[in-house]
């Protein structure tokens, strides 16, 4: 099988009241309206599946081609979900459970994810973890009084805010309190799960005047401190004029940035598919095929794809299911600089 460009599904309108126009303006996405918050580039979520150029859903492709598409390390259903997001307004403050909790309470997978900032307005911030000295019980007490005068300010003070700029990468394991701030567009890679517990939404109301549902008890059950409170540096691996930077390689996904200045070789990996999101124009070529890519395109590379080159002057975000033992061996003593790589 050769790589192909995925056609995204979209979440928009009342589903993403915080969304905007950035996906259309930055990448020419066929966004349904001016409140389009998410372009689900590679998705097997029911009702929100991305499709190949012939219109087949990702689930249909995985069922038909099996390990030829997904690889030997991606057993069962397609394991990852890749999105581009635009936050015109701040999202709700939320947290995701791990697999054990989500399976027990929801009958689903948990969600560990990561973000790479694509664009950020001046002074844009994320919420990432709880503020110093705040624990889940203090937060519970503040949320219990959310209707009182001054409560909103006290609740907001419980969260840790982090300034962001384009290129920053943040690792968000299950249990990490987080929220995307206003004026941010980002790339998100995550487990294929839609389980989200909303902690706080700033008393925001929908078009009918109703407050959005919160899931405070379950959210407080699963809160864990984040592994760090700043953007990741990653580990850079030069290859001539090209640079590959590895940021994350946990048991679910790896996240890398490929800075291509001419041509960068991609060798086959029968262990996993790969997802390549172009941040500039270029091409994938080799093995008897050539595929043009535009900024914002995501190519799905099947596990049995032939060797090929990424061609052009562009950066590409790459996600896949890693062979962590092999990556540790490749990086040697620098493996400690990759988030999640040395954890159990």
- Which of the residues are catalytic? 198
How many CB atoms within 10 Å of residue 282? 25
Residue 129, classed as helix, strand or coil, is strand
- Give the strand pairing for 38-42 and 308-320: unpaired
Residue 107, class by beta-carbon neighbours within 10 Å (0-12 exposed, 13-18 middle, 19+ buried)?
Answer: exposed
Contact 177, 130 (CB under 8 A): yes
Angle at 50 between CA 101 and CA 108, to 5 degrees: 10
Residue 338, class by beta-carbon neighbours within 10 Å (0-12 exposed, 13-18 middle, 19+ buried)?
Answer: buried
Distances (CA, A) of 212 to 18, 200, 202, 205, 282: 13, 9, 10, 6, 42
DSSP 267-332: ---TT--EEEEESS-EEEEETTEEEEE-TT-EEEE-TTPPPEEEEEEEEEEEEE---HHHHHHHHG
* Residue 117: closest CA among 283, 315, 297, 249: 315
């Amino acid at each position: 099988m050769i790589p192909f460009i995925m056609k995204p599904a979209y979440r928009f309108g009342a589903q993403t009241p915080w969304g905007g126009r950035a996906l259309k303006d930055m990448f020419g996405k066929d966004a349904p309206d001016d409140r389009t918050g998410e372009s689900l580039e590679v998705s097997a979520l029911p009702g929100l599946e991305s499709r190949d150029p012939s219109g087949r859903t990702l689930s249909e492709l995985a069922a038909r081609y099996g390990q030829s598409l997904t690889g030997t390390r991606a057993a069962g259903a397609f394991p990852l979900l890749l999105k581009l997001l635009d936050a015109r307004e701040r999202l709700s403050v939320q947290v995701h459970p791990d697999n054990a909790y989500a399976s027990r309470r929801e009958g689903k997978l948990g969600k560990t994810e990561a973000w790479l900032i694509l664009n950020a307005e001046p002074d844009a911030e994320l919420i990432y973890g709880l503020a110093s000295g705040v624990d889940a019980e203090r937060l519970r007490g503040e949320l219990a009084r959310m209707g009182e005068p001054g409560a909103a300010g006290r609740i907001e003070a419980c969260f840790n805010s982090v300034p962001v700029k384009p290129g920053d990468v943040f690792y968000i394991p299950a249990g990490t309190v987080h929220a995307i701030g206003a004026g941010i567009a980002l790339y998100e890679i995550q487990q294929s799960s839609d389980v989200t517990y909303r902690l706080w939404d700033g008393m925001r109301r929908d078009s009918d005047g109703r407050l959005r549902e919160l899931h405070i008890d379950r959210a407080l059950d699963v809160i864990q401190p984040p592994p760090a409170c700043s953007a990741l540096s990653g580990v850079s691996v030069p290859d001539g004029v090209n640079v590959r930077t590895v940021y994350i390689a946990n048991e679910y996904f790896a996240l890398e940035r490929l800075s291509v200045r001419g041509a960068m070789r991609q060798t086959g990996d029968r262990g996993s598919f790969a997802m390549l999101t172009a941040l500039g124009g270029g091409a994938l070529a080799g093995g008897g095929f050539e595929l043009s890519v535009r900024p914002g395109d995501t190519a799905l590379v099947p596990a049995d794809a032939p060797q090929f080159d990424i061609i052009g002057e562009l950066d590409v975000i790459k996600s896949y299911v890693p062979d962590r033992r092999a990556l540790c061996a490749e990086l040697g003593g620098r493996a400690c600089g990759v988030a999640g790589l040395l954890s159990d």
